[in-house]
Amino acid sequence: VEQGVEVVFGYPGGAILPFYDALHGQTLPRHVLMRHEQCAAFAADGYARATGRVGVCVATSGPGASNLVTGLGTALMDSVPMVAVTGQVPRASLGTDAFQELDIVGLTMPVTKHGFLVESVADIPTVVAEAFHIARSGRPGPTLIDVPKDVLLAASAAHPGAAPSAGRTPPRVGTAVPASGRAEADTQSADSTRTNAPPIERVRELLARASRPVVLVGRGVLLAGVTDTLRRFVEEHELPVVTTLLGLDAFPSEHPLCLGMPGMHGTERANLAIQRADLVLGLGLRFDDRVTGRVSAFAPRAQIVHFDISEAVAGRTVQADVRVIGDLAATLPALARNACCTPLDSWWEELRAWSREAEAFDADTEAAGPLSGRSMTRILGRWIGDRGAIAVTDVGQHQMWLAQELKNALPASHITSGGLGSMGFALPAAIGAQVARPDRETWVVAGDGGFQMSASELATVVQEQLPIRIVVHNNAALGLVWQWQSLTYGERFVASSLSGPDFALLARSHGIPACSVKTVEELTSALHRIDGIRGPALLDVQVPTEEHVFPMVQPGKGLDEMLHGRQRALV
Ligand SMILES: Cc1ncc(C[n+]2csc(CCOP(=O)(O)OP(=O)(O)O)c2C)c(N)n1
Ligand SMILES: [Mg+2]
Answer whether 421 contacts ligand 1 (Cβ < 6 A): yes
- The whole-number pLDDT of residue 156 equals 82
Q: Is the CB of 381 under 6 A from ligand 1?
A: no
Band (120; pLDDT cuts 50, 70, 90): very high
Cβ of 395 below 6 Å from ligand 1: yes
- Tell me, in angstroms, the distance from the centre of ligand 2 to residue 482's CA: 9
Question: Closest Cα to residue 143, out of 168, 169, 171, 118?
Answer: 118
Nearest residue by C-alpha to atom 5 in ligand 1 = 423
pLDDT tens digit string along 517-541? 999 999 999 999 999 999 999 999 9
Q: What is the mean pLDDT of residues 453-457?
A: 98
User: How far are the Cα atoms of 17, 24, 96, 134, 327 from residue 151, in angstroms, in the given order?
Assistant: 12, 18, 18, 22, 38
Ligand 1 within 6 A of 370 CB?
A: no
Ligand 1 lined by 560 (C-beta under 6 Å): no
Q: Which residues contact 124 (CB under 8 A, 6 or more apart)?
A: 118, 147, 151, 155, 164, 170
pLDDT tens per residue across span 229-268: 999 999 999 999 999 999 999 999 999 999 999 999 999 9
Pocket test of ligand 1: the residue of 480, 545, 548, 550 to mutate, having most ligand atoms within 8 Å of its CB, is: 480
| Mean pLDDT for the stretch of residues 544-550 | 97
Q: Which atom of ligand 1 is nearest to the CA of 420?
A: 25
Cβ atoms of 413 and 49 within 8 Å: the answer is no
Q: Is the CB of 448 under 6 A from ligand 1?
A: yes
More confident residue, 382 or 184: 382
pTM: 0.94
Distance 455 CA to ligand 1 centre (A): 15
444 pocket-lining for ligand 1 (C-beta < 6 Å): no
Nearest ligand for residue 290 CA:
1
Task: Report the pLDDT value the prediction gives residue 364, as an integer from 0 to 100.
Answer: 76
418 pocket-lining for ligand 1 (C-beta < 6 Å) = no
DSSP 276-308: H-SEEEEES----HHHHSSGGGSSTT-EEEEEE
Going edge to edge, which strands form the sheet with 82-88?
Answer: 30-33, 7-10, 55-59, 82-88, 142-148, 114-117, 176-178
Q: Where are the beta strands (DSSP E) in 316-461?
A: 322-325, 390-393, 414-415, 442-447
500 lines ligand 1 (CB under 6 A): no
pLDDT at 160: 63
Long-range CB contact pairs, 526-535, < 8 A, 24+: 527/379, 527/383, 530/469, 533/467, 534/467, 535/465, 535/467
Which atom in ligand 1 lies closest to the alpha carbon of residue 448? Answer: 16
Mean predicted confidence (pLDDT) in 131-160: 94
Is the C-beta atom of 290 inside 6 A of ligand 1? no
Whole-number Å distance, alpha carbon 394 to ligand 1 midpoint, is 8
Report the atom number in ligand 1 closest to the C-alpha of 450.
15
Give the number of whichever ligand sits closest to the CA of residue 398. Answer: 1
For the ranges 74-88, 90-104, 184-198, 200-214, the lowest mean pLDDT is seen at 184-198
Q: Do the Cβ atoms of 56 and 75 come closer than 8 Å?
A: no
Neighbours of ion ligand 2 (CB under 5 A): 447-449, 475, 477, 479
CA 462 to centroid of ligand 2, rounded, Å: 24
In this structure, the number of other CB atoms found within 10 A of the CB of residue 12 comes to: 18
More confident residue, 364 or 497: 497
For a substitution probing ligand 1, which of 74, 380, 401, 423 has the most ligand atoms within 8 Å of its CB?
423
Kindly state if the Cβ of 427 falls inside 6 Å of ligand 1.
Answer: no
Residue 196 has pLDDT above 50, yes or no: no
- CB of 398 shorter than 6 A to ligand 1: yes
In short, whether 219's Cβ falls inside 6 Å of ligand 1 is no
Which residue blocks in 216-267 are alpha helix, DSSP H? Answer: 219-223, 227-237
Q: Is the CB of 447 under 6 A from ligand 1?
A: yes
Is 543's C-beta closer than 6 angstroms to any atom of ligand 1?
no
Q: How far apart are CA 478 and CA 466, in angstroms?
A: 28
Phi, psi of 7 (to 5 degrees): -135, 140
Task: Report the separation in Å between the CA atom of 473 and the middle of ligand 2, taken as the mean of its atom positions.
Answer: 6
Does residue 40's CB lie within 6 angstroms of at least one atom of ligand 1?
no
Q: How far is the CA of 485 from the centre of ligand 1 (A)?
A: 13
- pLDDT for 360: 85
Q: Taking 60 as the threshold, does the pLDDT of residue 171 lie above it? A: no
Give CA angle at 252 (568, 204), nearest 5°.
90
**pLDDT greater than 60 at residue 161:** no
Question: Tens of pLDDT along 398-449?
Answer: 999 999 999 999 999 999 999 999 999 999 999 999 999 999 999 999 999 9
390-393 and 414-415 beta bridge pairing: parallel
Smallest Cα–Cα separation from 23: which of 67, 63, 58? 58
Which pLDDT score, from 0 to 100, does residue 564 have? Answer: 87
Summarised one tens digit per residue, pLDDT across range 9-41 is 999 999 999 999 999 999 999 999 999 999 999
Determine the distance separating the centroid of ligand 2 and the alpha carbon of 416, expressed in angstroms.
16
